[in-house]
Structure 1
Amino acid sequence: MLNETACPSVSFDFTGKFLLPVYILVFIIGLVANGWGLKSLLHNWNKLGNVNVFVLNLGLTDVLYLLTLPFLMVYYSMKNKWIFGEAFCKITRFCFNVNLYGSIGFLTCISVYRYLAIVHPMRAMGRITLTHSVMISVIVWLLVSVQSLPDMFFTKTYGNNTEKCYDTTDNDYVEDYLKYTLGWTLTGFCISLLITLGCYGHVIVVLCSTNTIDKVLKQRSLKLMFILILLFSVCYIPYHVFRNLNLWSRVLTKQGICYKWYNRVYIARQISRVLVCLNSALNPLVYLHARENICAQLRRLIQQARQAVISTVQALVQNYKGFFSQAGWPLYTS
């Protein structure tokens, strides 16, 4: 513990240098991947299953967030100078939160549906309709919006300086924001995490102890479980842990209590923001295992591209041989 009345300041230069290239990369990859995934789902709308309603909404939450990234790119490229006004700053942060907790909500719905399809197939078959999935999706959107709405009432600027756009709030309100975000973490993330772990824990036991389940279905379910657990572990857990730790360190700093780990927590917090941002680029992996024909389409596209490249190379070689033969030049082969 430091015996200083004022805590040493944290270097904020790290944020812009670290987040800007990541946002650019996530924007490009996420837009292409989600655009391809949504196009594939809409193209097969008549074949849309119950789970894929949630996959469609998952893609919509990602696109909503990705469209706000160009404004954050400008913000960090101008060294944390926000030029779009406080109202739009709050809208941008609101879209991020809706994407984050919407993704968690729809991934949880996918987990529950997979659990019912594998563990209780006879009970779930015919009872869960497309209408049920749509209604549940509407409820998820409403819950996520209600949870994220209070965040817009916290100030996102520093005093009268509207050129800042905090993702949390100013130090004057940090104590209240910490209480809010702890409740937000519990209701928006921890409950979903426990439901997902409970569902997939039971599914793994059933898949490993039953030989009557189709091997293809078993492999696809295990892959989807691995992807969802990976998304929760890599993208969401560090973000919530270090967001609350960073807010707590700011509360302690305001009280004049200083620890050496504040700076490390701040850096870890920024890294966790990158990891949670990656969920918009990684979520399309769910598309690959939520539908059977998407994998086949992807393999077909890769095969067609490979055949096109081979045909082009062969044509170039033939043209090369024809050109030099007409010119009377000898061709050497080895």
Structure 2
Amino acid sequence: MAALSGTKPCPEEYVEAAEREYRRFQEGYLWAILMAEFLVAVGGNGLALYRFITQEQRPWHPAVVFSVQLAVSNLCYALTLPPLAAYFYPPKNWSFGEVACRLERFVFTCNLLGGIIFITCISLSRYMVVVHPFFTRRHLRPKHAWAVSAASWAMAILLAAPMLGFSHQNQPQPGLGPCSKTNREACVKCLGMMEDSQLETFRTYSLVLACLGGILPLLLTLMAYSALGLVVMRSPSMTTAQKLRVVVLVTSGVTVYACSYAPYHITQVLHVNAMLRWMAHCPSFTSESQAVAALNPRAFFGYQTTRILVPLATCMHPLLYMAVAPSLNCHPCHGKSEDQSPCQDLPLADTTTSQSQQSP
């Protein structure tokens, strides 16, 4: 491995000692958890997507358009989990080649960001329908949702594009023999960031992702659902049970986001910072035990834990599609007329589309 710019090279034996500590978690638990989440995420989101395609009236309501994009993004994200699980399966070894290594990290990041963006779109759509019903019915149409979806995919691809350059395959030195549990030096690595000498660049990139792909969407989602919740709770036409269902929807959406996507970006930044500090001190270590003791396990395990929580969030999205939505076909607005009751839009995935597609 290369050393940080301006410092002495980090001895390979110290780097290998640090990686042994990291592999214990990845090879012991992470690969199995990722495969289990893959099966649940593909089954749930595939079923939700099938339901949208076969049961929703055309043209799709904007809420359905965004929900379909979210399901597609979740499916694409889930498809990156098997090669990642195969990589972590002991002995940790990437056997799919350089191109697949770069594409796996790019698709992983692109659809991670896509899921975040479309959750935010769904939240803002709910906000517009409930808080600004007249404007929504008169001016917003499915074509606008498709245009926003196209722009959202473009943004996700643009933000994830640097991963094609950051990711790379690290080949072992020739003549080491086959990769095995007893000969890990011969194993191929698929790294999700640049060489150690360029970690500063990756830290800047991870900070950008944390702001644009984590904190900002979380704030928008929180504000949108807070405004929606206030309108619903003040509605005299809703029963207590209906209001409770809306509170469950709002709380579930914000909780899933706040406990998975945002922490992933934050812990990634913390992990990269910890790596930079360790690499800076590495040349001064006098033994492998000192090198291992200087590691920051909380940063590493925090980052690995959020890598588990993000796929878990994609598993939970179908529950919001399929279970919560049918129970929220309510009219929390104050008026009695159809034009004043667009709140059938409240579900994450709307099932009542015909009325809100009519011209005012």
> Please, what TM-score do these two structures have when normalized by structure 1?
0.79
| Matched pairs, number | 291
Whole-angstrom distance in 2 between the partners of 1:80 and 1:111: 39
Once the two structures are TM-superposed, the CA of residue 261 in structure 1 deviates from its matched residue by: 6.5
Out of 158, 179, 195, the residue aligned to residue 170 of structure 2 is 158
- The answer as to whether partners of 1:224 and 1:289 remain within 8 angstroms in 2 is no
Residue in structure 1 matched with residue 26 of structure 2 by the alignment: 15
Counterpart position of 2:276: 251
Structure 2 match to 1:80: 92
Following superposition, the deviation at residue 34 of structure 1 comes to: 1.1
Q: Which runs of 5+ in 1 are unaligned?
A: 296-334
* SS of the residue 1:165 aligns to: strand
Structure 2 SS opposite 1:157: strand
Amino acid at match of 1:188: G
Alpha-carbon distance in 2 for matches of 1:221, 1:50: 19
Report what 1:233 is aligned to: 258
Structure 2: gaps of 5 or more residues: 1-10, 174-186, 283-290, 330-360
**Residues 218-267 of structure 1 deviation map (CA, whole Å, 9 limit, x = unaligned):** 44533321221121122112211211000001111121188857122111
Q: Distance in 2 between matches of 1:215 and 1:256?
A: 59
- Counterpart-to-counterpart distance in 2, 1:93 and 1:27: 16
Shift of 1:65: 1.7
Structure 1's 216 and 168: CA in aligned 2 closer, same or farther, altered over 3 A? farther
Partner SS state of residue 126, structure 1: helix
Taking the aligned partners of 1:216 and 1:135, their CA distance within structure 2 comes to: 36
**Residue 129 of structure 2 is aligned to residue 117 of structure 1:** yes
1:282 equivalent to 2:282? Answer: no
After alignment, is 203-212 or 32-41 more displaced? 203-212
> Residue 44 of structure 1: CA displacement?
1.7
1:58-116 deviation per Cα after TM superposition (whole angstroms, max 9, x unaligned): 11011112222222222122422001111101111111111211111000011001111
When the two chains are superposed, the root-mean-square deviation of aligned CA atoms in Å is: 2.6
Per the TM alignment, residue 194 of structure 1 is displaced from its structure 2 partner at its CA by 1.1
The one of 21, 35, 52 equivalent to 1:41 is: 52
| Other-structure match for 2:140 | 128
1:185 maps to 2:197: no
Decide whether aligned partners of structure 1 residues 294 and 96 sit closer, same or farther in structure 2, where only a CA change above 3 A counts: farther
Alpha-carbon distance change, 36 to 282 in structure 1, aligned in 2, over 3 angstroms: same
1:268 to 302, 305, 324: 302
Determine which of 42, 51, 69 is the counterpart of 1:31.
42
**Structure 1 position 223 matched with structure 2 position 248:** yes
Alignment pair present for 1:56 and 2:65? no
1:187-226 alignment to 2 at 5 Å? Answer: 187-213=212-238, 218-226=243-251
TM-score, normalised by the number of residues in structure 2:
0.74
Q: Does 1:107 align with 2:132?
A: no
2:163, 2:192 within 8 Å by CA — same for their partners in 1? Answer: no
Q: Which has the higher helix share?
A: 1
What amino acid is the match of 2:33? Answer: V
Letter in 2 for 1:27: F
* Range moving further from structure 2, 162-171 or 52-61: 162-171
Aligned to 1:305: none
Give the AA of the match of 1:158.
N
